[in-house]
Chains A and B, each alone.
Chain A
Amino acid sequence: MRTRSLVGVFVLLGFLTFFPSGWVQAQTIKIGINAELTGDIPKVGEGTKFAAQMWLEDVKAAGGLAVGGKKYPVELVIEDNESKAESAVKAATKMITEDGVLVMVGPQASKQAVPAGGIANNYKTPMITPWSTNPDTTKDRPFVFRACFLDPFQGPVLANFITQEFKFTKAAVLYDVASDYPKGLAEFFKKAWEGLHGPGSVVAYESFTTKDTDFSSQLTKINNSGAQVLFTPQYYNEVALIVQQAHQLGWKKPIVGSDSWGSAETVSLCGKDCYGLFFSTHYAAAGATGATKAFIDRYQKKHGYVPDDVAALTWDAMLLVQKAIEDTGGLTGDLKKDRENVRSAMGRITKFKGITGEMTFSGGGDPSKCAVIVRISDKGQFEFYKSACP
């Protein structure tokens, strides 16, 4: 009797092990959102959360995500990374090992996305960062993707734009040396500019560290360097301070920025001082059409303000995740296998029509797409000025 029941238990156990679908009736697809909800750039985290939740609404309205002829309910696991590298790593580890997410979306800023990408890759979990433009985020990491272009791309695009638009030959750079994104972009810009105008054409290459608020000494140097344009690839809170202080020190020449300027907060903090300035970014809200406009209108109706590029890119990232999951052709229920399948499906995505442009992944984690040059209008709106493709 005892042996027989023991055998019975083993048979049952074996059954359960080899047929996981037998004990999980309605498997839930969990998607991790690793966002900067507090800390230095909370607006970025807010846009991430709102866009992801809007996507979830659509999925819920459709009754779940259809994969291989079966509908799966979807759940978002939203974690705050406090805009800190170590918290982003902690949040990534938690959602991958404890919550068992299939895919992680975020973190947004390179400072968080570079270390978190390492975690995702080690645990063989696909991650897509909507906004991180630093090459290191996806470099040698088959499991890490992004929905935006790269820093090395923005550097030459801006150097070319300034050269063609203003015919300038001398540039100054002011950047945060303690943050991955500005530091990386400053270096790429310098390289591209000196490639165009020869060594020494970046006449002032000044830096500060995160949390600094007074840039008067650096700006005085820049003012007296003979530079014709100032390039500052900073985040919105610093942009306001840098631009205002530059003007107070008598700087009347153009100031140019990168996609980190593209937050709704930039103009509200900076005010009139920022009118008429240029920056490169992923999308421009003013003058948008089609699906982009539909997204903008829906977001604005719901949250009361025009979504910035983070929200738009997060929206695209969510749809890329959805497409990759759908393209797997069916989930096995084995998280390890499914994560691998989603990864290879995402790497195969071609000509994806996103609201921030058409994207193609050719095996690697970086899509090929175009950049937009935006001018901050005299009413403080982000206006499409020019498109710049590689």
Chain B
Amino acid sequence: MSRPAFVESAGIEPMVIFLQNLVNALQWGSFYALIALGYSMVYSILMLFNFAHGDIFMVGSYIGFGVSMGLIALASSGVVALPNWLILVLTILFSMFLTSFVGMIVERVGYRPLRDAPRASAAITGLMIGIILETGNLALLGARRVSFPSLIETTTYNVSGVFVTNKKIMIVLVSLLLALALHQFVRRTKWGMAMRAMAFDFAVVPLMGVPLNTMAALTFALGSALAAAAGILFGVAYPVLDPYMGIVFGWKAFVAAILGGRGSVMGATLAGFLLGFTEIFVAMIFPSTLRDLIAYSIILLILAIRPHGFFGEPYSARLRL
């Protein structure tokens, strides 16, 4: 930054700006992708819109906050020596584990009693559970913003004008890794096979001996664990948490889930990144005031051309991977 100002303003190549925004978009899309996966799974396997999913992301983020604070206290008390990176890894793992139970409880309390009810009832259940989680958090922790602890020191790399931080790289890698893990799980395990079968025919497959309740719980657990991972990564990148942070995220990730095509892990991931890219690049080209207006008009247009999403098949309930 020692160069004079006029050189900076004149010397910026469009390519550098493009690459910088590419990095920005990769990080932003990671969150949409991880949250969209949970939506997508519940939708394809149980034919449910789990509108509480954005709030499970929020809960996951707060659980991550609690777990990391606990681990930091443990480490500083000197009982066990924990380096910061290990705290982060443990936080992610513990929080995914704990939040999966939140997901299972939501399913048990909110959706199982309504399994034979009209779909609209199940959909509003999600909205209500969402509100309960938000206001419950408000009652429990108060309205104060929570500052997510900075577990790893931010290191900024300047790659010929494009600024990348270690956190950004970590976020994108962890997201892709988790999406890949889910893909493998659905593809290669017996449980995964049962999930695909359920997506194929929700009514008949349970008659073949696939335990419906277990499958529902598993689906919610997996989705919630991914949402928790997204919540912690979010806390690492944007360390200001509030009880309502999941709402808009939930809506947008829902858009990504549908855009990806019903039941497609790959589709949801891609659509999540696409959403991130659209938002960032629209703000790059147009005035930022119009960002969501233009971004979501584009998404609407895509959906009009491909009403079944990228990987969804017309009139088929198959879980494609």
Chain A residues packing against B (C-beta within 8 Å): 37-40, 42-43, 170, 177, 203, 206-209, 211, 213-214, 216-218, 220-221, 223-226, 228, 236-237, 240-241, 244, 247-250, 252-253, 265, 268-269, 271
Contact indicator B143/A207 (Cβ below 8 Å): no
Size category of the B interface is: 35 or more
Task: Establish whether residues B238 and A213, one from each chain, have CB atoms under 8 Å apart when the complex forms.
Answer: yes
Give the residues from 145 to 180 in chain B that come closer than 8 angstroms, CB to CB, to chain A. Answer: 145, 147, 150, 154, 156, 158, 163, 165, 167-168
Q: With CB as the reference atom, state the residue of chain A lying closest to B248.
A: A211
Q: A221-B284, A250-B163 are in contact. List 10 more A-B contacts (CB 8 A).
A: A177-B289, A207-B287, A207-B288, A216-B27, A226-B6, A248-B163, A249-B163, A250-B1, A268-B147, A269-B239
Residue B283, interface by CB 8 Å: yes
Q: Interface SS of chain B: helix, strand, loop or mixed?
A: helix
Which of B24, B142, B167, B248 makes the CB contact (< 8 A) with A216?
A: B24
From B1, B20, B143, B244, residue with most partner A Cβ within 10 Å: B143
Task: Name the one of A37, A170, A225 contacting B143, with C-beta atoms under 8 angstroms.
Answer: A37
Q: Quick one: CB contact mask for B2-25 with A, threshold 8 Å, 1 for yes? A: 000110111010001100110010
Q: Report if A43-B9 is in contact (Cβ < 8 Å); known contacts: A213-B240, A217-B279, A241-B238.
A: no
Q: Which residues of chain B have C-beta atoms less than 8 A from A269's C-beta?
A: 145, 147, 239-240
Interface check B107, CB cutoff 8 A: no
Interface flag for B245 (CB, 8 Å): yes
A213 vs chain B, min Cβ distance (A):
4
Q: Which residues of A contact B9 (CB under 8 A)?
A: 170, 203, 224-226
Q: Is the CB of A249 within 8 A of B1?
A: no
With the chains together, A38 CA to B143 CA distance in Å? Answer: 5
Shortest Cβ distance from B143 into A: residue: A42
Q: B268: shortest Cβ distance to chain A, in Å?
A: 20
Bitwise, B264-292 to A at CB < 8 A (1) or not (0) is: 00000000000000011101100111011
With a cutoff of 8 Å between Cβ atoms, the chain A residues found around residue B17 in the complex are 220-221, 224
Contact of A240 among B5, B143, B239, B287 (CB under 8 A): B239
Whether B144 sits at the interface, judged by CB under 8 Å, is yes
- Which has the most chain B C-beta neighbours within 10 Å: A220, A241, A268? A220
Task: Enumerate chain B residues within 8 angstroms of A38, measured Cβ to Cβ.
Answer: 138, 143
For A211, list chain B residues within 8 Å (CB): 244-245, 248
Residues of B within 8 A of A203 (CB): 9
- Residue B28 CB within 8 A of the other chain: yes
Please give the distance in Å from B189's CB to the nearest CB on chain A. Answer: 35
A226 proximity list for chain B (CB < 8 A): 5-6, 8-10
The total of interchain contacts (Cβ-Cβ below 8 angstroms) comes to: 104
Is there contact, CB below 8 Å, between A216 and B240? no
Interface residues of B in 205-244 (CB under 8 A from A): 234, 238-240, 242, 244
User: B154's contact among A40, A240, A241, A248, by CB below 8 Å, is which?
Assistant: A248
Whether B283 pairs with A218 at a CB distance below 8 angstroms is yes
The listed residue (A206, A209, A237, A268) touching B242 by CB distance below 8 A is A237
- B280 near A253: Cβ-Cβ < 8 Å: no
The 5 closest A-B pairs by CB, nearest first: A226-B9, A42-B143, A216-B24, A217-B283, A250-B163
Q: Which of A43, A170, A248, A271 contacts B165 (CB 8 A)?
A: A248
| CB-based contact B288/A208 at 8 Å | yes
User: Are the CB atoms of A248 and B150 closer together than 8 Å?
Assistant: no
Q: How many whole Å from A230's CB to the nearest CB in chain B?
A: 13
Measured CB to CB, the closest approach of chain B to A264, in angstroms, equals 11
A190–B165 Cα distance when bound, in Å, is 32
Contact with A217, one of B143, B154, B244, B280 (Cβ below 8 angstroms): B280
Given A226-B5, A269-B239, the answer on whether A216 and B28 have CB atoms closer than 8 Å is: yes
Contacts of A37 in B (CB 8 A): 143
What B residues does A170 contact at CB under 8 A?
Answer: 5, 9
Considering the chains assembled together, what is the distance between the CA atoms of A170 and B6 in angstroms?
A: 10
B145 CB to closest chain A CB, in angstroms? 5
Instruction: Please measure, in the bound complex, the distance between the C-alpha atom of A170 and the C-alpha atom of B8, giving whole angstroms.
Output: 13
List 8 A–B pairs whose Cβ atoms lie within 8 Å, in order of A's numbering.
A213-B234, A216-B28, A217-B283, A220-B24, A221-B17, A226-B9, A240-B239, A248-B163
Complexed CA–CA distance, A225 and B234 (Å):
28
Give the CA-CA distance A211 to B249 in the complex, in Å: 10
| Set of chain A residues within 8 Å of B242, measured between Cβ atoms | 40, 237
A241 to B163, CA, bound (A): 17
- Report if A42-B283 is in contact (Cβ < 8 Å); known contacts: A213-B245, A268-B147: no
CA distance A203 to B12 in the complex (A): 15
Cα distance A208–B240 in the bound complex, in angstroms: 17
Bound-complex Cα distance A218 to B282 (A) = 10
In the complex, the answer to whether A220 meets B20 with C-beta atoms within 8 Å is yes
Task: Look across to chain B and name the residue whose beta carbon is closest to the beta carbon of A210.
Answer: B248
Residues A220 and B245 in contact, CB atoms below 8 Å apart: no
Residues on B with C-beta less than 8 A from A224 are 8-9, 12, 16-17
Tell me which of A206, A208, A248, A265 has the highest count of chain B C-beta atoms within 10 A of its own C-beta: A248
- Docked complex Cα distance between A214 and B138 (Å): 23
Q: How far is the CA of A273 from the CA of B163 in the complex (A)?
A: 17
Chain B hits for A213, CB < 8 A: 234, 238, 240, 245
Chain B residues near A207 (CB, 8 Å)?
Answer: 287-289
CB distance from B63 to the nearest CB of A (A): 19
A209 neighbours in B (Cβ, 8 Å): 292
Closest Cβ of chain B to A168, distance in Å, is 9
